Every structure is written in structure tokens, then in C-alpha cells.
Structure 1
Amino acid sequence: MFLAPKEIKKETGDSLIYCPRRVLVSKEFTFDAAHHLFNYEGKCKALHGHTYRLQLAVSGFLDDCGMVYDFGDLKEIYKNELEPKLDHRYLNESLPYMNTTAENMVYWIYQTCAESLPSDRGLEMEYVRLYETPTSFAEFRKEWDID
């Protein structure tokens, strides 16, 4: 049962930040795409498709509103930078030259998203996870992005 509030709370002017620590936010997307693998002797050598599931995770400190990064802004990065190259595309043609394995793709997605984050907020791309099937994924994490 839901009880109606006795009153609608109003801002007091105090800080809206409760958490003083770095927090991770994540958003998930799906897209359909076709590809084939080079230099591979298996079923994936032939042209085929997947319904991919993609998770993007960003961390940062809360802003004055109490948010790390608006989920809508994360969606905009996907819509503007990733979806045009991924959704309903032939990945061997739409992505930079690579073998379009989940492992290669997840690194390209990570780099693309990291470059798209605003530079003035201390945001960090934490990880990208790309499911090629419901039970198989590749992941790239921030701590692995070292030379």
C-alpha cells in the first residue's frame, strides 16, 4: 500500500549531497549487428548477426544535485557516438579496421565513451561490458587502460 505524503518537501538550501565518495552509474543498451571474423576457423568465420547487450559504467563525485552523471547524458553518448556505428550495421565496415571480436569492440567502445565524457567534472569511464550472447561477454576496465 502506498501512503500519500503529508507534505511535499521543499529545498532547505542545505547541501543535497549525502554521499561524499565516488559512485558508479551504469546504463544498458541493446543493438543488432552483423559481422564475421577474419583468420578464424569456426562458425563465426561466416557472416552472421547478434543482438548485443552493452553496459556502460561511469564514476565520479556527486554534483550539487546529488548526481554523478545523468542517465540521459549517458544515453546521449550512446545515441550520438555509438549507435550510428553499431546498430543494424555490418560491423566489419562501420568500425575501424579490426577483427570484430567482442574483445576488440569493447575496447573501441570504451575509448569512444571516455573521449565523450565532459572533462571538467572528474568523471571516469570505469568499464564497458559487451554481451555477444546472453551468456558470453567481453569487458574492458579503467584499471587495464595503462601503457
Structure 2
Amino acid sequence: MSKIRITKQFGFETGHALYGYDGKCKNVHGHSYKLSVTVIGEPINDVTNVKNGMVIDFTDLKKIVKEEIVDQFDHASVFNKNTPHVELAKELESRGHHVILVDYQPTSENMVVDFSKRIIGRLPQNIKLFSLKLQETESSFAEWFASDN
């Protein structure tokens, strides 16, 4: 049977700030992120299975990514918990804002690594994460490939 890659795309809005950065991104700002998730596997070859011919049901992949990333990061502010931004995060949280504290600089590069771990942990055993593409702006994105890791 052939290995097939399928991709599902997602969108979410997230704010962040890069502590110690020497440019504009040191300021709190946001992005309309676009995340492309590509998995690889063999299509189900069982006429008695309702998902016959599918690598994974797009609905099942959507559920995983929605729960692990979109629902958590959409309209949240992400800060590195090991920086003075933690004080800003506490203030925002006290005012009812959704804040995520991470142990990394919240760049697209680091976020895509975080996302890969979250997704891999939820995929069925016979499905592998092939790649992720996290688009921060129309012309800027970070990519993660299983073959590189």
C-alpha cells in the first residue's frame, strides 16, 4: 500500500512579545497565524470500515489540532515565563485575559516545535506527523519536518 500525506489548515489569532529582542517585536503585538498540519500514513484498506480509503478522517485530525492548539492559543497572549513579562502576564490574567506562559521565547520557530510535540502525542499509532508550517504573516513562516528531527 502507498504512503499518502494529507494536510489540514487552521487559523487562529495570538498575541505575544519577544523579551530582549532588539526590534519592534519586543512590544506586545499579535498575528493571524495559519497552521498547516501534514500527516502521513497508509489509507485504510478495509471495506467494512466506514473510513475505508482514508489515512485519517479530516474530522479526527481537526479535533486533535483544535483541542491541542487552536482552542488553547486562539485569542491568547503568549509570554516566556522566565522573563519579566511574567508580571505583565499576571496583570492581564487578573483582568480576565487568556494568557499562556511557556518556557521558551514565543517565536514561530519555537511555537512550531511545541505544536509538533502536542500533535504527535495525540495521533493514532499508525499515523505520523510529517510536517508543520506556521505562517506568522503573509510572507513569513516557520516549518517543522519529522525527517529533520
Hey, what's the Cα distance between the residues in 2 that align with 1:95 and 1:140? Answer: 22
Shift, 1:82, TM fit:
1.0
What secondary structure, in the 3-state scheme, does the structure 1 residue paired with 2:102 have? coil
Q: Deviations for 1:107-140, whole angstroms, at most 9, x for unmatched residues?
A: 1111110111012xx2110001000001110001
SS at match of 2:124: coil
Matching residue of 1:87: 74
- Measured after TM superposition, the shift of residue 96 of structure 1 is 2.5
Per-residue CA deviation, residues 35-88 of structure 1 (Å, 9 max, x unaligned), is 000121100000001000000010000112011011101110122111232100
Give the corresponding residue for 1:128.
132
**Unaligned segments of structure 1, at least 5 residues:** 1-19
1:9-59 per-residue CA deviation (whole Å, 9 max, x = no partner) reads xxxxxxxxxxx2100000001100100001211000000010000000100
Residues 24-63 of structure 1: pairs in structure 2 closer than 5 A: 24-63=5-44
**What number of residue pairs does the alignment pair up?**
124
**Residue 141 of structure 1 aligns with which residue?**
145
Find out whether 1:117 has 2:117 as its counterpart.
no
Partner of 1:16 in structure 2?
A: none
Q: What percent of counterpart residues are identical?
A: 37
Separation in structure 2 between the aligned mates of residue 90 and residue 118 of structure 1, nearest angstrom: 30
Which protein is richer in strand relative to its size? 2
Q: Which has the larger radius of gyration?
A: 1
Partner Cα distance (1:127, 1:95) in 2: 25
For residues 99 and 34 of structure 1, what CA distance do their matches in structure 2 show? 13
Matched, 1:71 2:71: no
